Structure 1
């Protein structure tokens, strides 16, 4: 574990079970993603540390993106490894880490050792039994579940914790605004279906089957689903920004298709009218599926 992980994790080949289209879906909008997506809430650290029953030595964050789900651990663990195959997303995480390291020259801003590496969830450059906790934040549905869980079980220590957790989109507000949000995503998916060959599209698994995959793997002695809520302040810009940061909408932008523009403008106007320049506390619902090795 003393070797430079950025060296031992290198490799151009894509392991079997992974789709290049799933990785490339996130190329080119790392700034938008990082600006509008949510950081993992502290409840994640509290819950998973509780199930581990001690301070974790190593947390591995699979599909870590721009690090929004990795940095939450920085004061609660000895070491964090964020694994992300997309170069743009990982590059943003590394830039944030560099900034944090500079700010932490006095030793106060960063207490955990954080590393971001290129890699895939079903082929990790870690020895058996290395990790206490492995997380997939808003990412497990992009992975091949059987091989990912097999690799996670290999890397976890005995009684280590695997956790796949997701936030329900959008944050609770009004039924009309939430309906309009879902209509935007539906229209974006329709445009993609018309413009992109099926074999070139990203494939997203069903989040509702995460617990089923964990249980059917036979690799975990205990499993359950935990539902919890988290409140964050939202402005109209943050709410609409979250919608625009969704992968389907960003894919349509990359296809240079103007069909969404009018719908997005209408959605923005609806949200702005509701918020009336206020900052409002909104509830976000999370679903965490865990397995104890």
Structure 2
């Protein structure tokens, strides 16, 4: 996330549910790493993963980069990433630091790849892209990639998911003053922002998917890992309980005890410096 008091709500949105987030959210798919490595034409020397959360998008670079730095302003999320780091061997080249997307503690022209996995929409784009361009070397790549929610499964289940998320946003709008709400930008504008910045010689969108195993617990957990639903929980409100139970029932009925291959669709917007 970007620095500044006006962005603190974005950072605070992810406090207190790092365990649930880490358990249910997807790890970064290997295909994303393959795409970016191919663009720079060699194993990257330094990759930074900005807004890295619990490290789900950081550790995938463990064997694929000489050095990896996860940057995360939220203390709870970063603590979970550090917990994982302590459990791995041969991770001297991986580090996690507190930082903001528009104030990176890194030298200019020192980075091969900058990634934002499910995080760029929480950042102020103008100052962030200026800073990313500063730290990237010539020919380096910036990539913002996001998973489409909900994962593709069954239209009734997906419709129930959307009703649940919509209800959570209604509750937040009714109970949280606008000045205190998180500010999420439109992901559909990512490519436009990259091009508009004038700091990248080439930009495009890449669409791909990744198949992952899910059972009912995980598919339900993915919905509950969404920041809006967690924000309702923090309010202490029970206004979402009926929709939660309805969604859980719909998910359980569809999975019927099965573990299924589920399609997670991604959209990656890249800029080449």
TM-score range, shorter chain: over 0.9
The residue number in structure 1 matching 2:69 is: 81
Structure 2: tracts of 5 or more residues without a match: none
The equivalent position to 1:32 in structure 2, one of 17, 20, 23, is 20
| Contact 2:164-2:244 within 8 A present in 1 as well | yes
Structure 1 equivalent of residue 167 of structure 2: 187
Partner SS state of residue 188, structure 1: helix
CA contact 1:161–1:292 (8 Å) conserved in 2: yes
Shift of 1:193: 0.5
The residue number in structure 1 matching 2:202 is: 222
Q: Determine the C-alpha separation between the residues in 2 that align with 1:69 and 1:158.
A: 24
SS at match of 2:239: helix
Equivalent in the alignment of 2:107: 127
Contact kept? 1:75, 1:111, Cα under 8 Å:
no
**What's the secondary structure of 1:259's corresponding residue?**
coil
CA RMSD, 1 decimal: 1.1
Residue 60 of structure 2 aligns to a residue in which SS?
A: helix
Q: Secondary structure at the match of 2:209?
A: strand
- Distance, in Å, in 1 between the alignment partners of 2:250 and 2:113 is 41
Counterpart for residue 8 of structure 1: none
Q: Tell me which residue corresponds to 1:161.
A: 141
Give distance in 1, aligned partners of 2:128 and 2:50: 10
Cα gap change, 1:127/1:18 in structure 2, threshold over 3 Å: closer, same or farther?
Answer: farther
**How many angstroms apart in 2 are the aligned matches of 1:275 and 1:15?**
42
- Decide which of 27, 36, 46 is 2:34's aligned counterpart: 46
Query: What's 1:5 paired with?
Result: none
1:48-95 deviation line (CA, Å, top 9, x unaligned): 000011110000000000000000000000000000000000001001
Q: C-alpha distance in 1, partners of 2:44/2:258?
A: 40
Contact 1:18 1:144 in 2 (8 A): no
Write the deviation string for residues 212-240 of structure 1: whole angstroms up to 9, x where unpaired: 00000000000000000110111000000
Please, what TM-score do these two structures have when normalized by structure 1? Answer: 0.91
How far did 1:261 drift? Answer: 1.1
Deviation, structure 1 residue 18 = 5.4
Q: 1:159-188, CA deviations, whole angstroms, 9 ceiling, x for partnerless residues?
A: 000000000001101111101101111100
Query: Is the contact between residue 191 and residue 252 of structure 1 (CA under 8 Å) also seen in structure 2?
Result: yes
Cα distance in 2 for partners of 1:17, 1:85 equals: 13
8 Å contact 1:76–1:112 — kept in the other structure? no
Partner of 1:210: 190
Question: In the alignment, which residue of structure 2 is the partner of 1:60?
Answer: 48
Q: How many residues align?
A: 272
Q: Equivalents in 1 of 2:203, 2:242: separation in Å?
A: 45
2:188 corresponds to 1:200: no
Structure 1 residue ranges, 4+ long, deviating more than 4 angstroms after superposition? none
TM-superposition CA deviations, 1:269-290 (whole Å, max 9, x none): 1111111111100111100000
TM-score, length basis structure 2: 0.98
Shift of 1:20: 0.4
